[in-house]
Amino acid sequence: MKFSAYFLIALAPAVALGQEPVAIHVDAAAKLGPYKPIFSYFGYDEPNYTYMKYGPKLVGELAALSYVPVYIRAHHLLCTGDGTTALKWGSTNAYTEDSSGKPVYDWKIVDRIIHTYIQATPNRLLRSASCSKPSQ
Protein backbone atom coordinates (compact mmCIF):
# COMPACT_ATOMS: atom_id res chain seq x y z
CA MET A 1 0.00 0.00 0.00
CA LYS A 2 2.81 2.43 0.85
CA PHE A 3 4.47 1.78 -2.52
CA SER A 4 1.24 2.63 -4.36
CA ALA A 5 0.86 5.88 -2.46
CA TYR A 6 4.45 6.92 -3.19
CA PHE A 7 4.03 5.97 -6.83
CA LEU A 8 0.92 8.11 -7.17
CA ILE A 9 2.62 11.03 -5.46
CA ALA A 10 5.56 10.69 -7.85
CA LEU A 11 3.19 10.75 -10.84
CA ALA A 12 1.25 13.78 -9.61
CA PRO A 13 3.52 16.40 -11.30
CA ALA A 14 3.23 14.66 -14.69
CA VAL A 15 -0.55 14.46 -14.42
CA ALA A 16 -0.78 18.05 -13.23
CA LEU A 17 1.18 19.29 -16.23
CA GLY A 18 -1.06 17.37 -18.62
CA GLN A 19 1.73 15.34 -20.19
CA GLU A 20 0.73 12.70 -22.68
CA PRO A 21 1.74 9.08 -22.03
CA VAL A 22 4.56 7.77 -24.20
CA ALA A 23 4.81 4.22 -25.55
CA ILE A 24 8.18 2.71 -26.39
CA HIS A 25 8.35 -0.45 -28.48
CA VAL A 26 11.53 -2.50 -28.94
CA ASP A 27 11.93 -5.21 -31.54
CA ALA A 28 14.75 -7.30 -30.06
CA ALA A 29 14.82 -9.52 -33.16
CA ALA A 30 15.59 -6.63 -35.52
CA LYS A 31 19.22 -6.33 -36.62
CA LEU A 32 20.81 -2.97 -37.27
CA GLY A 33 24.35 -4.21 -37.92
CA PRO A 34 27.37 -5.50 -36.06
CA TYR A 35 27.89 -4.56 -32.45
CA LYS A 36 30.60 -1.95 -32.04
CA PRO A 37 31.86 -1.52 -28.49
CA ILE A 38 31.51 2.04 -27.32
CA PHE A 39 33.01 1.62 -23.88
CA SER A 40 36.31 -0.07 -23.20
CA TYR A 41 37.31 1.53 -19.90
CA PHE A 42 37.08 -0.23 -16.56
CA GLY A 43 37.80 1.39 -13.24
CA TYR A 44 37.85 0.30 -9.64
CA ASP A 45 38.89 1.63 -6.24
CA GLU A 46 40.83 -1.26 -4.73
CA PRO A 47 44.06 -1.51 -6.76
CA ASN A 48 45.57 -4.12 -4.41
CA TYR A 49 43.10 -6.74 -5.65
CA THR A 50 44.79 -6.46 -9.06
CA TYR A 51 47.66 -8.77 -8.08
CA MET A 52 45.83 -10.99 -5.59
CA LYS A 53 44.46 -14.49 -6.22
CA TYR A 54 41.84 -13.70 -8.90
CA GLY A 55 43.07 -10.26 -9.95
CA PRO A 56 45.30 -11.23 -12.90
CA LYS A 57 42.58 -13.55 -14.25
CA LEU A 58 39.97 -10.79 -14.03
CA VAL A 59 42.26 -8.25 -15.70
CA GLY A 60 42.84 -10.73 -18.53
CA GLU A 61 39.12 -11.38 -18.90
CA LEU A 62 38.40 -7.65 -19.06
CA ALA A 63 41.07 -7.28 -21.75
CA ALA A 64 39.53 -10.14 -23.74
CA LEU A 65 36.00 -8.69 -23.69
CA SER A 66 36.50 -6.56 -26.74
CA TYR A 67 38.43 -6.43 -29.98
CA VAL A 68 39.15 -2.76 -29.31
CA PRO A 69 41.83 -1.86 -26.75
CA VAL A 70 40.64 -2.16 -23.16
CA TYR A 71 41.89 0.35 -20.60
CA ILE A 72 41.89 -0.13 -16.86
CA ARG A 73 41.76 2.78 -14.47
CA ALA A 74 42.69 1.98 -10.88
CA HIS A 75 42.04 4.58 -8.22
CA HIS A 76 44.02 5.16 -5.03
CA LEU A 77 47.41 4.25 -6.45
CA LEU A 78 49.23 6.75 -4.26
CA CYS A 79 47.54 6.15 -0.91
CA THR A 80 49.70 5.51 2.11
CA GLY A 81 49.39 2.09 3.67
CA ASP A 82 50.91 -1.36 3.74
CA GLY A 83 49.05 -2.82 0.76
CA THR A 84 46.16 -4.13 2.82
CA THR A 85 42.92 -4.01 0.87
CA ALA A 86 39.86 -2.27 2.20
CA LEU A 87 36.43 -1.65 0.74
CA LYS A 88 36.57 1.43 -1.52
CA TRP A 89 40.24 2.02 -0.68
CA GLY A 90 43.63 0.84 -1.76
CA SER A 91 47.06 1.40 -0.33
CA THR A 92 50.43 1.28 -2.00
CA ASN A 93 52.64 3.21 0.39
CA ALA A 94 54.11 5.00 -2.61
CA TYR A 95 54.63 8.15 -0.55
CA THR A 96 55.47 8.61 3.10
CA GLU A 97 57.65 11.02 5.02
CA ASP A 98 60.57 10.31 7.28
CA SER A 99 60.87 11.74 10.81
CA SER A 100 62.26 15.01 9.44
CA GLY A 101 59.39 15.42 6.97
CA LYS A 102 61.35 14.48 3.85
CA PRO A 103 59.53 12.45 1.19
CA VAL A 104 60.14 8.72 1.02
CA TYR A 105 58.98 6.95 -2.15
CA ASP A 106 58.38 3.20 -2.37
CA TRP A 107 57.09 1.93 -5.71
CA LYS A 108 57.07 -1.84 -4.97
CA ILE A 109 53.29 -2.22 -4.71
CA VAL A 110 52.55 0.16 -7.60
CA ASP A 111 55.06 -1.76 -9.74
CA ARG A 112 53.30 -5.01 -8.86
CA ILE A 113 49.94 -3.58 -9.95
CA ILE A 114 51.32 -2.20 -13.22
CA HIS A 115 53.17 -5.44 -13.93
CA THR A 116 49.84 -7.31 -13.67
CA TYR A 117 48.31 -4.94 -16.24
CA ILE A 118 51.26 -5.37 -18.59
CA GLN A 119 50.97 -9.15 -18.42
CA ALA A 120 47.24 -9.06 -19.21
CA THR A 121 47.06 -6.30 -21.80
CA PRO A 122 49.51 -3.89 -23.40
CA ASN A 123 47.00 -1.04 -23.04
CA ARG A 124 46.55 0.52 -19.67
CA LEU A 125 45.30 3.80 -18.39
CA LEU A 126 46.23 4.59 -14.84
CA ARG A 127 44.42 7.18 -12.83
CA SER A 128 46.01 8.11 -9.58
CA ALA A 129 45.14 10.52 -6.86
CA SER A 130 46.94 11.44 -3.73
CA CYS A 131 44.81 10.69 -0.72
CA SER A 132 44.80 9.87 2.93
CA LYS A 133 42.63 7.15 4.33
CA PRO A 134 40.28 8.25 7.11
CA SER A 135 41.20 7.10 10.60
CA GLN A 136 39.32 4.06 11.79
Q: Please, is 116 exposed, middle or buried when counting C-beta atoms within 10 Å of its C-beta (0-12, 13-18, 19+)?
A: buried
Query: Which pLDDT score, from 0 to 100, does residue 61 have?
Result: 87
Query: Which pLDDT score, from 0 to 100, does residue 128 have?
Result: 45
Model pTM? 0.62
The whole domain housing 110 covers: 40-129
Query: Which pLDDT score, from 0 to 100, does residue 71 have?
Result: 80
Is residue 47 in a domain? yes
5-35 confidence digits (pLDDT tens) = 555 566 666 555 667 889 999 898 998 888 7
Is residue 87 in a domain? yes
- Pairing state between β 103-105 and 95-97: antiparallel
25-75 confidence digits (pLDDT tens) = 989 899 888 877 677 788 888 899 999 999 989 888 888 877 777 788 888
If one counts the domains in the chain, the total is: 1
Is residue 118 a contact partner of residue 112, using CB atoms and an 8 Å limit? no
Is residue 51 in a domain? yes
Is residue 108 in a domain? yes
In what helix (H) or strand (E) does residue 6 lie, and over which residues does it extend? helix 2-16
